[in-house]
Amino acid sequence: MRFCHVRVLILTILLVFIASVCFATQFPYRKNYPSVPTISTQELKKDFDQDNVVIVDVRSEIEYNVIHPKNAVHIPLSNKDFVSRIKKLVKENPEKKIVCYCNGVTCLKSYEAVRRAQDAGLSNLYAFDAGVFDWAKKYPEQTLLLGDEITNPRRQLIPREIFQKQCVDYATFKKKARESDHVVIDARSDIQRTKELPGLEDVQVLTMPPDKLINDVIKKRRMKDKVLLIFDQVGKQIRWIMYYLAEERYTDYYFLRGGANAVLEKQKYR
């Protein structure tokens, strides 16, 4: 009997160890933010249903506009008034949790947001580090995609592998840029555009930050007869641009894998 108890104890310890290893692997950056409390997708949904939480999107405007939970408040971490706006939110909702989220387990903005709030003396804030796509897959009816409720997440959410298929290396990008029906679009912001890409000196490059590209071209369905070659700074904004292209049924387009930084390496902004 004693031997059985020992075996059970050893098995329990082993299972706890395996679970902790798997958990650490699933959320690899939690260890870097030990003071930041986190909340699971299921816990967040329970608080959401009971109106016990304010969900805060700390990402960029384009990311928020593409996808966010219903009723999420948008306060970008990059906003100079971030802390004061969070303070106001806490004051207006004294009995509620404030939960910050970003894009998932490899995105650090949710942790950074909570830590900045903590540094300002605020409490009862949590990081939802599973991210918006985990929420969207589990609770599509409580998620807005381009302003509308998600009805079919398998069809509407673009898998990373599909996105990657539209990304090409710079050698391929340059070659395609010289074809007559192809248009190159520099979607970096003005502050990011410190250098031009080498090897495209003889190619016309249209400069359009994401909002201009989306509003003045994609939503108006311009250049649908062309093959669009789009690059941004680090290869992340194009993921959100792709949702607008898909919405307006663009089919001929490619992105530069890794953005301008993949070609120019790290740059200093003006």
Report pLDDT digits (tens) over 189-242: 998 998 999 999 999 999 999 999 999 999 999 999 999 999 999 999 999 999
Q: Which amino acid is at 110?
A: S
Q: Is the pLDDT of residue 73 over 60?
A: yes
pLDDT value at position 5?
52
Read off the DSSP letter of residue 107. -
Confidence of residue 268 (pLDDT cuts 50, 70, 90): low
Q: Which residues pair with 228 in a beta bridge?
A: 183, 253
Give residues with Cβ within 8 angstroms of 190, minimum separation 6: 209
pLDDT value at position 265?
80
Q: No. of H helices and E strands in the chain?
A: 12, 12
pLDDT value at position 31?
97
Give residues with Cβ within 8 angstroms of 225, minimum separation 6: 181
Task: Tell me the pLDDT of the chain averaged across its residues.
Answer: 91
Q: Is 225 helix (H, G, I), strand (E, B) or coil?
A: coil
Phi, psi (rounded to 5 degrees) for 145: -115, 115
Task: Please answer whether residues 252 and 226 qualify as being in contact, where contact means their C-beta atoms are separated by less than 8 angstroms.
Answer: yes
Mean pLDDT for the stretch of residues 78-104? 97
Cα gap 210→260, rounded to integer Å? 14
Tokens 């299972």 belong to residue: 15
pLDDT value at position 11?
42
Name which of 203, 247, 205, 249 is nearest 224 in CA terms: 249
Confidence of residue 90 (pLDDT cuts 50, 70, 90): very high
* CA-based max dimension of the chain: 82
Q: Is the pLDDT of residue 20 over 70?
A: no
**pTM for the predicted model, two decimal places:** 0.86
pLDDT value at position 248?
98
Task: Please answer whether residues 262 and 238 qualify as being in contact, where contact means their C-beta atoms are separated by less than 8 angstroms.
Answer: no
Q: Is the pLDDT of residue 128 over 60?
A: yes
Q: Is the pLDDT of residue 269 over 90?
A: no
194 vs 255, higher pLDDT: 255
Mean pLDDT for the stretch of residues 182-195? 94
Give residues with Cβ within 8 angstroms of 196, minimum separation 6: 205
Q: Is 237 helix (H, G, I), strand (E, B) or coil?
A: helix
Q: Is the pLDDT of residue 10 over 70?
A: no
Q: Is 95 helix (H, G, I), strand (E, B) or coil?
A: coil
pLDDT value at position 202?
93
Cα gap 40→46, rounded to integer Å? 10
